[in-house]
Amino acid sequence: MIAATLSAAVSDVRRRLAAGGIAEAAREARLLIGGLLDLDGTAFITDGSRVLTEEEASRIDDAICRRLAHEPVYRILGKRPFFGLTLTLSPETLEPRPDTEILVERLIPPAQGIVARNGTCRVLDLGTGTGAICLALIDAVSGVTGVGADISAGALETARRNADLNGMSERFKTVESDWFSAIDGQFDIITSNPPYIVSSVVDTLAEEVRRYDPRLALDGGPDGLDAYRHIAAGAGAFLKKAGFLAFEIGYDQKEAVIDILRKEGYGLNDEARDLGGNDRALIFQAEA
């Protein structure tokens, strides 16, 4: 069982995580304890002498065991921050990561421009998972409405819950669909963070990813590009004239994805790298 006061608990958790090989033990200790006890950053300074209850100590101890078994921190907490929102997670959803926020950032100006011209902007998020991309755009740009599509009913349940928790239920709907199979209507923006890991590589990923992110959201086929081909081939029937088609990509997939989209009549409009300097987001428009 962990130590009795908040400060002692932080030290104890940090020590145990570090001994278990967790690289960012100090940061994760605060994330775990703060998330479990609903504490903000200042509490660790102002309330360090607070004595933890037996129930709080037990929850922290259980969380340490789960983290030492390589379950990610935010999976343990059941939620994580994303672009100013708090999103719940489930076994059926990929954990949204900061790299995906790059795609959201690049989509805000086009969405704002569409709203300025038309009053509204309709977004389709394919493989929506937690709803992260679409909900972040809805939150960032007044006038955006969205549809989150996913083949997983469990993922869609999570996305609807996140829309409700963040006050967006009226502007976000879901549809169970294998890419475009159940989609109706047209959209100003079609976006996706699709599965893009090469099938043979999935089983070599870090345990935190391999064991806890759904394989369906990771496995992009023999060359990692299956989803891009499906979306590029089908988007024309659902994308409005001058609309935008936007993707997150793997670090080494830029040229291959550009080639796939070019063959379907789309030209590159914008691109962005992530904080690590890797190619991460591509935005296309139909060529004239």
Q: Tell me the pLDDT tens digit for each residue of 52-62.
A: 999 999 999 99
Question: Contact, 219 vs 202, CB < 8 A?
Answer: yes
What residues are paired with 245 via a beta bridge?
190, 284
In angstroms, the Cα distances linking 253 to 179, 279, 282 are 20, 8, 10
The CA–CA distances, whole Å, from 116 to 109, 271, 286 equal 10, 23, 21
Confidence of residue 267 (pLDDT cuts 50, 70, 90): very high
Q: Which helix (H) or strand (E) holds 156?
A: helix 153-165
The predicted model gives 133-162 an average pLDDT of: 98
Task: Determine the residue type at 225.
Answer: L
Q: Nearest Cα to 100, choosing from 240, 194, 237, 223?
A: 194
Q: Mean pLDDT across the chain, nearest whole number? A: 95
Average pLDDT value for residue range 104-116: 98
Cα(21)–Cα(128) distance, integer angstroms: 33
What's the pLDDT band for 1 if we cut at 50, 70, 90?
A: low
Number of other CB atoms surrounding residue 55 within 10 Å: 8
222 phi, psi to nearest 5 deg? -55, -35
Helix locations, 73-214, DSSP H: 73-77, 98-118, 132-140, 153-165, 199-202, 207-210
Cα end-to-end span (Å), the chain: 66
